[in-house]
Amino acid sequence: MTTINDLVLVHVDREPAFYARINDINPDVKKGWYQVELLVLTLPLQTLVWILEETHIQGEEFTMGGTPMKLVEVPPKSPPQPETPAPEGKGKVVPLRKL
């Protein structure tokens, strides 16, 4: 479920186009629609506000001016797993020394 602060990959015309962070989601005056503020991760940074239905926010394809668009959530990095001890003779750390 895509929510505020999630990272999404925006597809334009069914091709990956740019990454954006969802900054905010607010109800629109039109019932069932939302104003979605996207921080486009480009240089310079850009902010867009798109009016979308919840299904669009969750990844269903929609169109803008006849062009197919889609938001695909980028899953967060999984937390590190607890370290397990290396078997004897393996996994030894060798310090680097300057010559």
Domain ranges of the chain: 7-73
Q: How far apart are CA 84 and CA 99, in angstroms?
A: 33
Q: What is the pLDDT of residue 84?
A: 65
Identify the three-state secondary structure at position 42: coil
> Across the strands, what pairs with 9?
19, 72
With vertex at residue 36, the alpha carbon angle to CA 55 and CA 62, rounded to the nearest 5 degrees, is: 40
Q: Whole-model pTM?
A: 0.77
| 23-76 per-position pLDDT tens digit | 999 999 999 999 999 999 999 999 999 999 999 999 999 999 999 999 999 998
What's the helix, strand, coil split of the chain in %, to 5? 5, 45, 50
